[in-house]
Structure 1
Amino acid sequence: MARPEPALLDAARYPFVVEITTRYADMDPNHHLNNVAMAALIEDARVRFNTANDFRAAMGGMGAMIASVAIDYLAQGYYPHPISGYAAVESVGRSSWTLVQLMVQQGQPVAFARSVAVGIAQARPAPLPDAFRTNLARVTLRG
Protein backbone atom coordinates (compact mmCIF):
# COMPACT_ATOMS: atom_id res chain seq x y z
CA MET A 1 0.00 0.00 0.00
CA ALA A 2 1.23 3.49 -0.80
CA ARG A 3 2.32 5.79 1.99
CA PRO A 4 -0.34 8.40 2.94
CA GLU A 5 -0.07 11.90 1.48
CA PRO A 6 2.64 13.85 3.38
CA ALA A 7 0.05 16.41 4.53
CA LEU A 8 -1.75 13.64 6.46
CA LEU A 9 1.44 12.97 8.43
CA ASP A 10 1.45 16.50 9.90
CA ALA A 11 0.23 16.16 13.50
CA ALA A 12 -0.60 19.89 13.65
CA ARG A 13 -3.55 19.27 11.30
CA TYR A 14 -5.35 17.07 13.83
CA PRO A 15 -7.62 18.73 16.43
CA PHE A 16 -7.47 15.80 18.87
CA VAL A 17 -4.57 14.02 20.54
CA VAL A 18 -4.35 11.47 23.33
CA GLU A 19 -1.31 9.77 24.83
CA ILE A 20 -1.61 6.00 25.18
CA THR A 21 0.68 3.84 27.28
CA THR A 22 2.16 0.82 25.53
CA ARG A 23 2.25 -2.51 27.32
CA TYR A 24 4.88 -5.21 27.58
CA ALA A 25 2.32 -7.60 26.04
CA ASP A 26 2.23 -5.38 22.90
CA MET A 27 5.78 -6.47 21.93
CA ASP A 28 6.68 -9.07 19.36
CA PRO A 29 9.81 -11.30 19.65
CA ASN A 30 11.87 -8.52 17.97
CA HIS A 31 10.87 -6.02 20.70
CA HIS A 32 8.68 -4.02 18.29
CA LEU A 33 5.02 -3.22 18.90
CA ASN A 34 3.23 -5.90 16.90
CA ASN A 35 0.67 -5.01 14.23
CA VAL A 36 -2.29 -6.35 16.21
CA ALA A 37 -1.27 -4.22 19.20
CA MET A 38 -1.01 -1.15 16.93
CA ALA A 39 -4.52 -1.83 15.62
CA ALA A 40 -5.72 -1.95 19.24
CA LEU A 41 -3.95 1.36 20.01
CA ILE A 42 -5.67 2.91 16.98
CA GLU A 43 -9.02 1.60 18.22
CA ASP A 44 -8.32 2.97 21.71
CA ALA A 45 -7.55 6.43 20.28
CA ARG A 46 -10.68 6.32 18.09
CA VAL A 47 -12.92 5.46 21.06
CA ARG A 48 -11.34 8.21 23.18
CA PHE A 49 -11.88 10.68 20.30
CA ASN A 50 -15.57 9.71 20.08
CA THR A 51 -16.02 9.92 23.85
CA ALA A 52 -14.23 13.27 24.20
CA ASN A 53 -16.50 14.78 21.55
CA ASP A 54 -19.70 13.36 23.08
CA PHE A 55 -20.72 11.77 19.78
CA ARG A 56 -23.13 9.33 21.42
CA ALA A 57 -25.33 12.14 22.79
CA ALA A 58 -25.22 14.04 19.48
CA MET A 59 -26.40 10.93 17.59
CA GLY A 60 -29.86 11.38 19.12
CA GLY A 61 -30.42 7.72 19.91
CA MET A 62 -28.89 6.41 16.68
CA GLY A 63 -26.07 3.94 16.76
CA ALA A 64 -22.91 3.77 14.71
CA MET A 65 -20.72 1.02 13.34
CA ILE A 66 -17.29 0.92 11.78
CA ALA A 67 -17.70 -0.18 8.15
CA SER A 68 -14.03 -0.24 7.22
CA VAL A 69 -10.57 0.36 8.65
CA ALA A 70 -7.34 0.64 6.65
CA ILE A 71 -4.00 0.84 8.44
CA ASP A 72 -0.65 1.84 6.98
CA TYR A 73 2.28 0.78 9.16
CA LEU A 74 4.91 3.47 8.62
CA ALA A 75 7.71 2.59 11.04
CA GLN A 76 8.45 0.30 13.96
CA GLY A 77 6.99 1.22 17.33
CA TYR A 78 8.76 0.22 20.53
CA TYR A 79 7.83 -0.65 24.11
CA PRO A 80 7.82 1.12 26.61
CA HIS A 81 7.48 4.46 24.85
CA PRO A 82 3.93 5.91 24.79
CA ILE A 83 2.08 6.52 21.53
CA SER A 84 0.38 9.83 20.72
CA GLY A 85 -2.88 9.16 18.88
CA TYR A 86 -4.07 12.04 16.70
CA ALA A 87 -7.54 12.05 15.14
CA ALA A 88 -9.69 14.18 12.86
CA VAL A 89 -12.79 13.89 10.72
CA GLU A 90 -11.73 13.87 7.08
CA SER A 91 -15.14 13.93 5.37
CA VAL A 92 -18.86 13.59 6.05
CA GLY A 93 -21.46 11.95 3.82
CA ARG A 94 -25.22 11.52 4.17
CA SER A 95 -25.05 8.58 6.57
CA SER A 96 -21.31 8.11 7.12
CA TRP A 97 -18.13 9.92 8.05
CA THR A 98 -14.44 9.21 7.57
CA LEU A 99 -11.96 9.52 10.42
CA VAL A 100 -8.20 9.75 9.90
CA GLN A 101 -5.71 8.91 12.63
CA LEU A 102 -2.00 9.39 12.97
CA MET A 103 -0.04 7.42 15.55
CA VAL A 104 3.25 9.03 16.58
CA GLN A 105 5.97 7.73 18.88
CA GLN A 106 8.93 9.86 19.94
CA GLY A 107 8.14 12.39 17.20
CA GLN A 108 7.99 9.80 14.39
CA PRO A 109 4.80 8.67 12.62
CA VAL A 110 4.47 4.92 13.13
CA ALA A 111 0.99 4.27 11.73
CA PHE A 112 -1.82 5.97 9.82
CA ALA A 113 -5.42 4.76 9.76
CA ARG A 114 -8.55 5.73 7.87
CA SER A 115 -11.91 4.47 9.18
CA VAL A 116 -15.39 4.84 7.78
CA ALA A 117 -18.23 4.88 10.31
CA VAL A 118 -21.93 4.63 9.45
CA GLY A 119 -24.91 5.99 11.38
CA ILE A 120 -27.41 3.22 12.10
CA ALA A 121 -31.13 3.37 12.95
CA GLN A 122 -33.41 0.33 13.00
CA ALA A 123 -30.48 -1.88 11.89
CA ARG A 124 -29.98 0.13 8.66
CA PRO A 125 -27.80 3.05 7.56
CA ALA A 126 -29.59 6.33 8.30
CA PRO A 127 -28.97 10.03 7.66
CA LEU A 128 -26.79 11.71 10.28
CA PRO A 129 -28.61 14.13 12.63
CA ASP A 130 -27.81 17.84 12.29
CA ALA A 131 -26.50 18.02 15.89
CA PHE A 132 -24.06 15.23 15.11
CA ARG A 133 -22.93 16.96 11.90
CA THR A 134 -22.23 20.09 13.98
CA ASN A 135 -20.04 18.03 16.35
CA LEU A 136 -18.18 16.49 13.42
CA ALA A 137 -17.52 19.94 11.90
CA ARG A 138 -15.73 21.00 15.09
CA VAL A 139 -13.13 18.25 14.74
CA THR A 140 -12.34 18.20 11.03
CA LEU A 141 -8.84 17.95 9.65
CA ARG A 142 -7.19 21.37 9.65
CA GLY A 143 -5.73 23.16 6.65
Structure 2
Amino acid sequence: MAKPDQALLDPARYPFDTEVDVRFSDMDVNRHVNNVSLSNFVEEGRVRFHRASGYHAAIAGVGSMVASVAIEYVGQAFYPGTLHLHAGASHVGRTSYTLELLITQEGRAVVFARSVMVCTKDGKPHLIPDAFRDAVAAEWGVRS
Protein backbone atom coordinates (compact mmCIF):
# COMPACT_ATOMS: atom_id res chain seq x y z
CA MET A 1 0.00 0.00 0.00
CA ALA A 2 1.31 3.45 -0.87
CA LYS A 3 1.54 6.14 1.78
CA PRO A 4 -2.06 6.94 2.72
CA ASP A 5 -3.79 10.05 1.45
CA GLN A 6 -3.75 12.83 4.08
CA ALA A 7 -7.56 12.73 4.21
CA LEU A 8 -7.35 9.18 5.61
CA LEU A 9 -5.26 10.50 8.51
CA ASP A 10 -8.01 12.82 9.75
CA PRO A 11 -9.75 11.32 12.81
CA ALA A 12 -12.90 13.34 12.06
CA ARG A 13 -13.70 11.16 9.02
CA TYR A 14 -14.19 8.04 11.13
CA PRO A 15 -17.54 7.43 12.85
CA PHE A 16 -16.11 5.16 15.55
CA ASP A 17 -13.59 6.15 18.23
CA THR A 18 -12.36 4.30 21.29
CA GLU A 19 -9.22 4.49 23.35
CA VAL A 20 -6.77 2.00 24.82
CA ASP A 21 -3.84 2.43 27.16
CA VAL A 22 -0.35 1.53 26.00
CA ARG A 23 1.23 -1.08 28.25
CA PHE A 24 4.88 -1.11 29.31
CA SER A 25 5.23 -4.46 27.52
CA ASP A 26 4.30 -2.74 24.21
CA MET A 27 7.52 -0.71 24.30
CA ASP A 28 10.67 -1.88 22.49
CA VAL A 29 14.38 -1.15 23.00
CA ASN A 30 14.02 2.07 20.99
CA ARG A 31 11.54 3.31 23.62
CA HIS A 32 8.57 3.49 21.30
CA VAL A 33 5.63 1.13 20.84
CA ASN A 34 6.73 -1.89 18.82
CA ASN A 35 5.13 -2.42 15.40
CA VAL A 36 3.90 -5.88 16.42
CA SER A 37 2.09 -4.30 19.37
CA LEU A 38 0.60 -1.69 17.04
CA SER A 39 -0.73 -4.47 14.81
CA ASN A 40 -2.41 -5.91 17.92
CA PHE A 41 -4.08 -2.53 18.49
CA VAL A 42 -5.32 -2.66 14.86
CA GLU A 43 -6.96 -5.98 15.70
CA GLU A 44 -8.41 -4.55 18.93
CA GLY A 45 -9.89 -1.63 16.99
CA ARG A 46 -11.44 -3.98 14.45
CA VAL A 47 -13.04 -6.12 17.19
CA ARG A 48 -14.39 -3.09 19.04
CA PHE A 49 -15.79 -1.67 15.79
CA HIS A 50 -17.50 -5.00 15.09
CA ARG A 51 -19.27 -4.88 18.43
CA ALA A 52 -20.26 -1.20 18.13
CA SER A 53 -21.46 -1.44 14.51
CA GLY A 54 -23.56 -4.57 15.02
CA TYR A 55 -21.34 -6.75 12.79
CA HIS A 56 -20.59 -9.15 15.64
CA ALA A 57 -24.28 -9.68 16.41
CA ALA A 58 -25.36 -9.70 12.75
CA ILE A 59 -23.10 -12.58 11.77
CA ALA A 60 -24.46 -14.98 14.40
CA GLY A 61 -24.67 -18.32 12.59
CA VAL A 62 -22.33 -17.10 9.87
CA GLY A 63 -18.54 -17.06 10.01
CA SER A 64 -16.22 -14.19 9.30
CA MET A 65 -12.57 -14.06 8.35
CA VAL A 66 -9.92 -11.46 7.70
CA ALA A 67 -9.02 -11.78 4.02
CA SER A 68 -6.50 -8.96 3.93
CA VAL A 69 -4.78 -6.49 6.24
CA ALA A 70 -2.49 -3.69 5.10
CA ILE A 71 -0.78 -1.57 7.74
CA GLU A 72 1.08 1.68 7.22
CA TYR A 73 3.18 2.93 10.13
CA VAL A 74 3.05 6.70 9.72
CA GLY A 75 4.39 7.83 13.10
CA GLN A 76 5.65 6.63 16.45
CA ALA A 77 3.67 5.87 19.58
CA PHE A 78 5.14 6.01 23.05
CA TYR A 79 4.70 4.61 26.54
CA PRO A 80 3.11 5.77 28.76
CA GLY A 81 0.15 6.99 26.82
CA THR A 82 -3.25 6.41 25.35
CA LEU A 83 -4.03 5.44 21.78
CA HIS A 84 -7.21 6.49 20.00
CA LEU A 85 -8.59 3.91 17.60
CA HIS A 86 -10.75 5.48 14.89
CA ALA A 87 -12.59 3.19 12.48
CA GLY A 88 -15.25 3.02 9.82
CA ALA A 89 -16.46 0.82 7.00
CA SER A 90 -15.45 2.36 3.69
CA HIS A 91 -17.15 -0.16 1.39
CA VAL A 92 -19.71 -2.92 1.79
CA GLY A 93 -19.94 -5.51 -0.96
CA ARG A 94 -21.99 -8.69 -1.34
CA THR A 95 -19.85 -10.98 0.81
CA SER A 96 -17.12 -8.68 2.10
CA TYR A 97 -16.56 -5.26 3.50
CA THR A 98 -13.56 -2.95 3.92
CA LEU A 99 -12.69 -1.43 7.28
CA GLU A 100 -10.36 1.56 7.54
CA LEU A 101 -8.71 2.21 10.88
CA LEU A 102 -6.57 5.08 12.11
CA ILE A 103 -4.58 5.02 15.33
CA THR A 104 -3.56 8.35 16.85
CA GLN A 105 -1.71 9.39 19.96
CA GLU A 106 -1.93 12.95 21.29
CA GLY A 107 -3.39 14.09 17.97
CA ARG A 108 -0.61 12.53 15.85
CA ALA A 109 -1.32 9.81 13.29
CA VAL A 110 0.56 6.63 14.14
CA VAL A 111 -1.00 3.86 12.03
CA PHE A 112 -3.37 3.61 9.09
CA ALA A 113 -4.75 0.14 8.34
CA ARG A 114 -7.19 -1.26 5.83
CA SER A 115 -8.75 -4.69 6.40
CA VAL A 116 -11.08 -6.72 4.21
CA MET A 117 -13.51 -8.95 6.07
CA VAL A 118 -15.36 -11.80 4.34
CA CYS A 119 -18.49 -13.49 5.66
CA THR A 120 -18.29 -17.26 5.30
CA LYS A 121 -20.51 -20.29 5.68
CA ASP A 122 -19.42 -23.87 5.15
CA GLY A 123 -16.00 -22.63 4.07
CA LYS A 124 -17.35 -20.43 1.26
CA PRO A 125 -18.14 -16.71 0.95
CA HIS A 126 -21.61 -15.88 2.25
CA LEU A 127 -23.81 -12.81 1.85
CA ILE A 128 -23.26 -10.11 4.43
CA PRO A 129 -26.31 -10.07 6.71
CA ASP A 130 -28.75 -7.24 5.97
CA ALA A 131 -28.68 -6.21 9.64
CA PHE A 132 -25.04 -5.16 9.34
CA ARG A 133 -25.53 -3.63 5.88
CA ASP A 134 -28.46 -1.56 7.17
CA ALA A 135 -26.61 -0.51 10.34
CA VAL A 136 -23.57 0.62 8.37
CA ALA A 137 -25.71 2.57 5.91
CA ALA A 138 -27.79 4.25 8.62
CA GLU A 139 -25.28 4.85 11.41
CA TRP A 140 -21.90 4.78 9.74
CA GLY A 141 -22.65 6.58 6.49
CA VAL A 142 -21.57 3.82 4.09
CA ARG A 143 -23.65 2.68 1.16
CA SER A 144 -23.38 -0.73 -0.47
Do the two structures share a fold, i.e. TM-score over 0.5? yes
Alignment of 1:18-97 (within 5 A): 18-97=18-97
Please report how far the alpha carbon of residue 125 of structure 1 lies from its aligned counterpart in structure 2 after TM superposition: 0.5
Aligned residues: 141
Distance 1:78 1:31 in 2: 7
Distance 2:50 2:69 in 1: 16
Distance 1:140 1:4 in 2: 21
CA-based RMSD of the aligned residues comes to 1.3
The residue number in structure 2 matching 1:139 is: 140
The residue number in structure 1 matching 2:104 is: 104
The AA in structure 2 aligned to 1:89 is A
Please report how far the alpha carbon of residue 53 of structure 1 lies from its aligned counterpart in structure 2 after TM superposition: 2.1
Distance 1:68 1:133 in 2: 20
Distance 1:56 1:72 in 2: 26
Distance 1:77 1:47 in 2: 21
CA contact (8 A) 1:9 1:102 kept: yes
**TM-score, normalised via structure 1 length:** 0.93
The AA in structure 2 aligned to 1:18 is T
**TM-score, normalised via structure 2 length:** 0.92
Q: Is the aligned partner of 1:12 residue 2:15?
A: no
CA contact (8 A) 2:51 2:57 kept: no
Q: How high is the sequence identity, in percent, across the aligned residues?
A: 47
Distance 1:5 1:139 in 2: 21
CA contact (8 A) 1:70 1:114 kept: yes
